[in-house]
């Protein structure tokens, strides 16, 4: 039994990190870019550890050079998601990779991504929304450019602001200016924390950046008073178990804290992070949770509802997606 056809909501997906390796290879070939070092003999992405993963990620992104490349990427990514039953997905978009943080360039890339998303909605029935993310290891000044792009293009498609990248670089408060800008514009917020950092990083992120959602957050489990606070305040965790297991952030599946976090009343959701990099799909995430923890249809319906409640899109979109989930 597989959850392949079970409808799913995904909230944590890095757009370039979802690029099928074959897609990146074909762009590289078209543009004569030598990327042989980033693939293994079977054509999968190849890296040693998380820091190396981030540089392989950047290398793959050198093939994405124009709005049209991003329109094609949109279709390639959504085809994979739709094939795994995803009906709604929010994806992290970084102006750093789309014109280097320049607002005019970003608008052109965004228009192309929206074009691809509209086509995917028509042909595959999947809905995409974007969350603009600054990249932590590029520092607070570049983050401000991303926040500016976010505030200026916040609307029907760009629905939130967040931060990804190397979690151990700097402290959350270094990015408060950018998060304040986005919050003052009314944007919902999310931030990676507690994937590599300990409970202190999660606590500082909550205190200094005040996000409604946290990317990963799993290391909060090492401080049960923090877990209680997260549960009490209704902060939603975008948990990516397959990613954590693959990168060895948490230990193997039976040791993954998602079950305990959920049992302690935390609003947990399930996502893939960078699916081809971590050998996963939303189907595999559901299947592994079923196999490891014995979760069944009712659990997955509840996870989907939590995710849809926590989604940053407008009410009409939520109502439409809720209709699709009811069929499960
Ligand atoms: N950027 C792409 N994938 C990421 C991850 N898993 N954590 C932080 N930054 C990322
Ligand atoms: Zn992530």
According to DSSP, the β-strands at 213-216 and 189-193 are parallel
Catalytic center residues: 195
First to last CA, the chain: 15
Query: Which tokens go with 281?
Result: 């799909």
Residue 246 is predicted with a pLDDT of 97
DSSP state of 6: S
At 105 the pLDDT is: 98
Structure-block tokens of residue 204: 């500082």
**Does ligand 1 lie within 6 Å of residue 192's CB atom?**
yes
Q: What is the pLDDT of residue 328?
A: 78
pLDDT < 50 stretches in the chain:
none
Residue 192: strand pairing partners: 215
231 alpha carbon, distance to own chain's centre: 21
DSSP 235: P
Cα(204) to centroid(ligand 2), Å: 18
What pLDDT is attached to residue 1? 85
Q: Which of 131, 50, 74, 134 is nearest to 100 (CA)?
A: 134
SS3 129: strand
Residues of the chain with CATH 3.20.20.140: 8-19+70-326
What 8-state DSSP symbol labels residue 142?
H
Residue 199 beta carbon below 6 angstroms from any ligand 1 atom: no
Q: Which residues pair with 92 in a beta bridge?
A: 14, 131
CB 190 within 8 Å of CB 14: no
Please tell me the class of the 8-19+70-326 domain.
alpha beta
Are the C-beta atoms of residues 240 and 284 closer than 8 Å to each other? no
Is 216 a pocket residue for ligand 1 (Cβ < 6 Å)?
Answer: no
């Amino acid at each position: 039994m597989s959850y392949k056809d079970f409808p799913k909501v995904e909230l944590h997906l890095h757009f370039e990190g979802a690029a099928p390796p074959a897609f990146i290879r074909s762009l590289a070939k078209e543009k004569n870019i030598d990327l042989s070092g980033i693939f293994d003999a079977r054509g999968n992405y190849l890296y040693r550890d998380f820091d190396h993963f981030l540089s392989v990620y950047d290398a793959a992104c050198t093939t994405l050079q124009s709005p049209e490349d991003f329109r094609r990427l949109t279709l390639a990514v959504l085809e994979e998601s739709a094939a795994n039953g995803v009906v709604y997905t929010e994806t992290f978009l970084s102006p750093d990779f789309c014109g280097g943080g320049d607002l005019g360039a970003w608008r052109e890339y965004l228009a192309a991504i929206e074009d691809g998303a509209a086509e995917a909605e028509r042909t595959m029935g999947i809905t995409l929304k974007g969350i603009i993310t600054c990249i932590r290891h590029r520092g607070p000044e570049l983050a401000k450019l991303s926040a500016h792009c976010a505030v200026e293009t916040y609307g029907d498609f760009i629905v939130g602001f967040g931060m990804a990248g190397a979690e151990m670089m700097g402290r959350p408060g270094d990015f408060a200016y950018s998060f304040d800008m986005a919050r003052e514009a009314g944007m919902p917020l999310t931030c990676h924390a507690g994937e590599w950092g300990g409970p202190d990083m999660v606590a500082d992120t909550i205190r200094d950046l005040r996000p409604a959602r946290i990317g990963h957050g799993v290391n909060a489990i090492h401080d049960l008073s923090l877990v209680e606070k997260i549960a009490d305040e209704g902060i939603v965790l975008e948990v990516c178990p397959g990613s954590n297991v693959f990168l060895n952030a948490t230990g193997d599946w039976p040791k993954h804290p998602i079950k305990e976090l959920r049992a302690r009343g935390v609003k947990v959701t399930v996502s893939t992070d960078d699916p081809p990099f971590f050998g996963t799909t939303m189907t595999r995430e559901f299947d592994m949770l079923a196999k490891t923890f014995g979760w069944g249809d009712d659990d997955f319906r509840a996870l989907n509802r939590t995710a849809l409640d926590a989604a940053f899109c407008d009410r009409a979109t939520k109502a439409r997606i809720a209709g699709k989930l009811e069929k499960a």
